[in-house]
Amino acid sequence: MKIQKFIKDGNRLGAIFALSLIGCAAAHATEGGGSVYPNGVDNFAAGAMPPPGIYGMVFGEHYTADRLNDKDGNRVPLNFKVTADVIAPRFIWVTGQKIAGGDLAFHAIVPLVNLDVKVGNASQKKTGIGDITTGFSLGHHYSPQLHTLAGLDLFVPTGGYNKNDLANIGRNYWAYEPVYIVSYIDPKGFNGDIKLGYTFNQKNNGTNYKSGQEFHFDYAAGWGLGNGWTVGAGGYYYQQTTDDQLNGANIPNSKGRAFAIGPSVKYDSGKGWFVTAKWQKEMAVENHAQGSAVWIKAVFPL
């Protein structure tokens, strides 16, 4: 079985981080099997834009996978393991400017990635800055409980990349993605979030490979306990909608799919900062690596 190249999945974070997944002749699903968007990154209160000001946010992820699935969801007989640890600071500026009744904000995410890849008897480790995500959004508040956010993210190929390497922190191509988030927040009742995104990938000029378009959503559902804590479950759904292309020709059976779920919690201090955490396990995976991830997110005013 011919191994292609190992490139980042991370974002798993981005909008966002730069992890990487592996590709082979029987398992494509975007170049290297990864994605510019870090599926599952968001959690409770993702669509509730804060008041005007400057805010900091830190995402942390530990991802590990030792299984690669083919187009039918069957395990590829390959000695394979990837471990990625990501710290991704995010900076948000809520301007105070109103557009179409919404609050205008800008953001940027700079992922710091430690990546360890093993395929067959080969292995490689890399550490560095991944692909940066930047963009703008409009936030609406329809009630104290119901909030929405609509925006556009741009993924910038700033991460290190070498097409001959086993492990790459960057993907070496641009991408953009419209995003829409709905959050329902009740400190003493139901809490629910869904973040929808659709990714348009551009061509990797280093390989003349263009990954297909991708639909995905992160989700969370839980119950507020009235003491700052919310408990529930969260994860993501991912579906590639168009085939990959190499030298302008479609690659058959190259669409990826995945679903993940696991326990999720949130603690809101009531003083302007909150923390969320979750563990999610991937399943129903096609043309992708299958593993699990721990996510932590902290939000605080600067």
pLDDT digits (tens, 9 = 90+) for 4-29: 333 333 333 322 233 333 333 334 46
User: In angstroms, rounded to a whole number, what is the distance separating the alpha carbons of residues 20 and 53?
Assistant: 34
DSSP 202: P
> Mean pLDDT across the chain, nearest whole number?
90
Instruction: Tell me the per-residue pLDDT of 86-128, one tens digit each, with 9 for 90 and over.
Output: 999 999 999 999 999 999 999 999 999 999 999 989 999 999 9
Give the pLDDT mean for 235-249: 96
Least confident of 160-169, 173-182, 209-218: 160-169
User: In angstroms, rounded to a whole number, what is the distance separating the alpha carbons of residues 193 and 177?
Assistant: 19
Least confident of 29-33, 46-50, 129-133, 283-287: 29-33
Domain containing 241 — which CATH number?
2.40.160.40
- Check residue 33 and give its pLDDT: 74
The label of the residue with tokens 């629910």 reads: 192
- For a pLDDT cut of 70, what percent of the chain falls above it? 90
- Check residue 204 and give its pLDDT: 96
Least confident of 139-153, 158-172, 218-232: 158-172
| Residue 111 structural domain | 3-301
Q: Which one, of 16, 14, 20, 18, lies nearest residue 165 by Cα?
A: 20
The label of the residue with tokens 């190992």 reads: 6
DSSP 158: -
Q: Label residue 156 by pLDDT band (50, 70, 90).
A: very high
Instruction: Tell me the per-residue pLDDT of 36-93, one tens digit each, with 9 for 90 and over.
Output: 999 999 999 999 999 999 999 999 999 999 999 999 999 999 899 999 999 999 999 9
User: In angstroms, rounded to a whole number, what is the distance separating the alpha carbons of residues 184 and 162?
Assistant: 43
If phi over 0 gives left and psi between -120 and 50 gives alpha, with beta otherwise, what is residue 284?
A: left
- For a pLDDT cut of 90, what percent of the chain falls above it? 85
If phi over 0 gives left and psi between -120 and 50 gives alpha, with beta otherwise, what is residue 90?
A: beta
Task: Give the total number of structural domains in the chain.
Answer: 1
- Check residue 4 and give its pLDDT: 35
Radius of gyration of the chain (CA): 19
- Check residue 273 and give its pLDDT: 94
* pTM of the model as a whole: 0.89
Residue pair 289/281 in contact (Cβ under 8 Å)? The answer is: no
Residue 199 has pLDDT above 60, yes or no: yes
